[in-house]
Structure formats: structure tokens, C-alpha cells
Amino acid sequence: MRLPTWDEVNSDEEQLNVLETPLDESLFVAGPPGSGKTSLAVWRAATLAEWYKKQIPVVTYNRMLRRTLKLAADDNEIGIDVSTMQSFVWQDYQRRTHNSPPTVPPDPFAYRWQSMIDRLQGTEPDYNSLVVDEAQDLPAEFFLYASRYVAGTMAVFADDDQALSRQRSTLEQIKMAAGLPHPKILGENHRNTPEIARLAEHFHSGRLPAATIRRSHTGDVPRLVRSGSITSTTRRIANEFQNRGGSIGVIVEQNSTGRSTYESLRDKLPGSRVARYANELRNEDSIDVRLPGITVLNKESVKGQEFDTVFILELDRFIPCTSDSELRTMYMMCSRARDNLYLVYGPEPLSTEAEAALPWSDVLER
């Protein structure tokens, strides 16, 4: 008898193509870092807009992500209408009721979802579809609101293994609130080198499978660096920029460190692009993190971004990870780097616990 060959056995293997999901159906996609969620979100929005011949709103978590989505769309000459969830809901509610959304003081963005949902009862969705990126960091109530009053169908992109915010939602909560099908998992990582992905995986605490790494080994293993002062840290960053160029992201825990790092880098690299983004500066539209140069930002703002090289400063404030939320932070931050990654601490040595939280030197070079 002739036995089947590997190709015959695998002939039924379907390529996962989430964009082939019919346009009048909802779509739920879960994908690890580097799997292309944001690009897919942009394409889905563009395809839907063309099909319905109407603008399809795209909603994301923060303003830096809104900027990233816009830049990705501009690159492909796609016109999309992106908002943060907070401003989208504010405007949507205001337009429908001629009132501002009720909030829980003192936070002007802590919406009273239940009373808003009750108030809109009986009204119909305005849009054909809604696209949501970084959905894991949005509250579950938003998905209830959106599925009832914003759009008939939704395309939702999420990774709850990277969720940071307090109001975050699990995939189950999103699915239930928005009435979505089971999520499709994206399985390939096109961003990180295998060396970087391996370090990120060390901090991975969630349930999505580790993606298949599509990039080749470079031999550049992430490095653990002790630095005596901000000046010596910025000297190293400036050297890296002068030697390799490209886009560099510098992630800090404290805004004060961000400020002094930024000032020191700006002095060292006159004439080069050195920027600092902070939520309160509201300067996202003047920054393009993809261009050669350095961007200093905090963990919240670095979500969904990517750089050729990443420096994570104040490592001693991020490890040891004592909760899943701290692990998710490390996992998300490490996977921002495409080619090179440095974890920087000092001037004090790492605590025994922090040291123990790090992988062996084949994964993180000392």
C-alpha cells in the first residue's frame, strides 16, 4: 500500500485569514505582540468603509495609539476616523442626548455606564460597523454600550495577556458584552527577533500560545545593564543612536526620570529627533515614533508601539513581578523592541528577588 505524504496529510490546513470574514459579520481577533493586530484593524476599517460607502469609526485605548493608527492608515493612503474610547463615547452620547455623559466625580472620564445605557434604551445603532483595537484595556461596559447603540457589527482586536489598565476586560467579558463569536488567534510574530521574543516569553503569564517567530536569529541577545547615573544611561543611549541609528524607545516608570532623561538626551544629540511623550503634554501629534530618533515615554504610552531598539529604564521598579499585572507589563514592554533590547537598572544593585526574576544569561546577557 502507498502511505500518504506530509503534504497530503496537511492539505486541509487552512491559512488563517481573518480579513476574509464576511463584512456583515462581527470579527473577534486575539493576537500576541507583533502579530499585526493594528494593521489588520486598519485594513478592516478601510474595507468596511469602502463596502458600506460610509465612514467606519475606529476606537482605541489612548491618544498615542490613536496617533499610531492614523499614521498606519496614512502610510497606506487610507482615510479612517480614529478616536480614543473616552472621546468617542463622550461625543456619541452628547450627540444623541444633547447631554454630557454622567460621570463619577472627581474623574471626568469615569462614565456611569448603566445610566447611559438605560437612557439610550429604544434607540438604534448609527453605524454599520465599529472597529476596536487594544480592546483588552477598555471596560466591558463599553462593549455593551457599543453593541447596543453604536454599531450592528464589530471588529474587535485584543490581547488580554498584555492588559494594563484597571478597567481592563478579559476576552470572555468582551465576547459576552459585545455578542462576538469565539476569537481567532493570530499565530505569527513578525516583529521581534527570536532573541527578544524569548525574553518577552519569560514574562508571559497569559493563555495565548507563544507565536511562531518569523524573523531570523541575529545573535543580538537582550542585555542587562547597570548604570551609575542618568548621565551614564543617556550616554549609552546616545551612543547606540549614533552607532546604529533607527528608532529608539526609552521606557521609564516615573515621569521625573522621563523628564531628566529627555533633557540629557536632547543636550547630547542636538539636531537629532529627541522627543518625550506624556499624556499631560498632549503632544502626540508632533511625534512620529517610527522616524530615526529617540522617544522617551512611560509604560502606559508605549502600549502598541514598536521601535528598532528599546531601553527599559528603572528596571528595579518593574521587577520582581509580584502579580500577573506586573508580568503583563514586562511582557508588553519587552515585545516593543524589533532588534535590540536593553534592561537598565542602577545605581543600586538589583535585589536578590529582582535578580531571581530574570532568566539565565543565554536569554539575557549580563
User: Shortest gap between Cβ of 15 and another protein (angstroms)?
Assistant: 9
182 binds another protein (CB under 8 A): yes
Site pattern 70..109 for another protein (x: CB under 8 A): ----------------------------------------
Mask: binding to another protein, 243-262, rule CB under 8 A, as x and -?
A: --------------------
Secondary structure, 3-state, the chain: CCCCCHHHHHHHCCCCCHHHCCCCCCEEEECCCCCCHHHHHHHHHHHHHHHHCCCCEEEECCHHHHHHHHHHHHHCCCCCEEEEHHHHHHHHHHHHHCCCCCECCCCCCCECHHHHHHHCCCCCCCEEEEEECCHHHCCHHHHHHHHHHHEEEEEEEECHHHCCCCCCCCHHHHHHHHCCCCCEECCEECCCCHHHHHHHHHCCCCCCCCCEECCCCCCCCCEEEECCCHHHHHHHHHHHHHHHCCEEEEEECCHHHHHHHHHHHHHHCCCCCEEECCHHHCCHHHCCCCCCEEEEEEHHHHCCCCEEEEEECCHHHHCCCCCHHHHHHHHHHHCCEEEEEEEEECCCCCCHHHHHCCCCCCCCEC
121: contact with another protein by CB under 8 A: no
What x-and-dash track marks residues 202-231 binding another protein by CB under 8 A? --x--xxxxxx-------------------
187 binds another protein (CB under 8 A): yes
Which residue in the set 75, 172, 355, 365 belongs to the binding site for another protein (CB under 8 A)? Answer: 172
Give least dist CB 28 to another protein, A.
9
- According to the binding rule CB under 8 A, does residue 332 interact with another protein? no
Query: According to the binding rule CB under 8 A, does residue 25 interact with another protein?
Result: no
Per CB under 8 A, the segment of 4-12, 118-126, 299-307, 312-320 that binds another protein is 4-12
Q: Which is nearer to another protein, 61 or 331 (CB)?
A: 331
Contact flag: residue 67 with another protein (CB under 8 A): no
Residue 362 interacts with another protein (CB under 8 A): yes or no: no
Residue 7 interacts with another protein (CB under 8 A)? yes
What are the residues binding another protein (CB under 8 A)?
Answer: 1-10, 12-14, 16, 30, 171-172, 175-176, 182-185, 187, 201, 204, 207-212
